[in-house]
Amino acid sequence: MSNKPDNSIYSKPLIFSVIALVVILIGSVITAFYPLIRADMHPKLDNLHPYTPFELAGRDIYQREGCGYCHSQNVRPLKTDVLRYGAYSQAGESAYERPFLWGSRRTGPDLARAGGKYHDNWHTLHTLNPRHFSPKSNMPAYPWLENALLSPAAVEANVKAYGYINYSPADIQFLEGKTELAALTAYIQSLGRGVKKEGFGYRVGTVEDYKNFLAKGVRGTVDQGQGIYTNECAGCHGVDGKGSAQGKLSEGISTMNLKDAREMGYEAADMYVQIFNGLEQLMPPYGNVLSSEQIDSLILYIETLERR
């Protein structure tokens, strides 16, 4: 089928294969192998710590359940990524990641900054039934994690293979009787902890901001507020504002009952500040996700709850 002279490399398979292999290797060596020995490929943030054995066990479960096919762990240096998720990812954050879990698909939100965003109990409830907080979420429920116990011996073997981790026998003993769910939560809470929370993209809402907004004379609407409330807030505060998950979520917190908020002395401006900034570990900040007008709508809607 060819018209080439007979003695070309196309009639010498050995030479052909060697040349093909070399050609294949050039790009591989330059873009993939050579970087292995470059210093700029091994950065580490100063305040980055390896996982604890407990967290690593959670990471293993994250791998096993394929969470990473829906969740990326890489905030891109793009304005809206930073507004939505937080400070963009740095090379030095991943020093102890093996394998990397940056992901390639965001069916769900990025998790690189998920640590500390919610309370442990939120994760427990969410992992067992994501629809509890976001009625339209498509994240699968993971009920089997609730009763499955970690095997300390297996975790220890994993820790040894993983490397990086200095652990004591107490760390391993600690795993006794712990559930997979608890380990997974510990892992999620560790995400992004090497990175400072403040900085680019984080704004703090103040009472002044709300006054300035009101001064413009445009108000939100109760309807808009109800829509946002149902999707974003009802999971924690209950459809009626009486709190739904309070037993589990608000340990040590006096109340999540929005109906009582006014009695406790919350003014509209305080609510604005609260909704804008959230509460570390308890309530996510909405300042970057909602406009002042939308927050105002929420306040107006919450006020109708109070009257019911």
Partner 1 sequence: MNDTLYNNRTVEGFLLSSLVWGVFGIVFGLLISVQLWEPAFNFGPFLSYGRLRTLHISILAYGLGLGVIFGLFYFMLVRLTKRGLVFPRLARFHLWLWNIGVVVAGASLFLGFTQSLEYAEFEWPVDIVVVIIWVIFAVNIFASVFLREEKQMYVSLWYMLASVLAVAVLYLVNNIAIPAGLTKSYHIFSGINSANMEWWYGHNIVGFLLTTPILAMFYYFLPVSTKLPIYSHRLSIVAFWALVFTYLWTGAHHLVYTPLPDWIQTLGIVFSLILIAPSWGSVINGFFTIESDWSKLQENYLTKFFLAAITFYGLQTIQGPGQSVRVISGLVHYTDWVIGHVHMGTMGWVTMTATACMYYVFPKIYNTEIFSVKLANSHFWLVFIGQLMYSFTMWIAGIQQSVMLKQLNSDGTLANTFMDTLVAIYPFWILRTVAGLIFTVGMVIFILNIVLTIVKGRSLSQSRA
Q: Under the rule (CB under 6 A), what is the footprint of ligand HEC? A: 62, 65, 67, 70-71, 107-109, 111, 114, 117-118, 122, 130, 133-134, 137-140, 142, 184, 188, 232-233, 235-237, 249-250, 253-256, 258, 261, 266, 271, 274-275, 279, 282-284, 286, 298
Q: How many CA atoms lie within 13 A of 265 on its CB side?
A: 0
Q: Can the peptide bond before residue 284 be classed as cis, meaning omega within 30 degrees of 0?
A: no
Mark residues 33-72: x for contact with partner 1 by CB under 8 A, - for none.
Answer: x-xx---xxxx----------------x--xxxxxxxx-x
Distance, CA of 152 to CA of 173 (rounded, Å): 7
Residue 73's identity, in one-letter code, is: Q
- CA nearest neighbour of 187 among 97, 125, 250: 97
Positions in 152-181 near partner 1 (CB under 8 A): 154, 157-158, 160-163
Query: Could you count the other beta carbons within 10 Å of the beta carbon of residue 140?
Result: 12
Q: Least separation, in Å, of the C-beta of 132 and ligand HEM?
A: 23
- Sequence-distant (6+) residues with CB within 8 A of 86 are 75, 112, 113, 192, 195, 197, 201, 202
- Chain centre to alpha carbon of residue 266: 30
Taking residues 83 to 122 in sequence order and writing x for each that binds ligand HEM by CB under 6 A, - otherwise, the string is ---------------------xx-x---------------
How far apart are CB 203 and ligand HEM at their closest, in Å? 29
Q: Are 297 and 225 in contact (CB under 8 A)?
A: yes
In the shown chain, the binding pattern of residues 211 to 250 toward partner 1, with x for contact by CB under 8 A and - for none, equals -----------------x--xx------------------
* Member of 46, 99, 252, 308 binding partner 1 (CB under 8 A): 99
# of chain residues touching ligand HEM (CB under 6 A): 3
Task: Single out the residue of 114, 256, 287, 248 nearest to residue 184, CA to CA.
Answer: 114
- The partner in contact with residue 102, picked from ligand HEC, partner 1, ligand HEM, none with C-beta cut-offs of 5 to 8 angstroms by kind, is partner 1
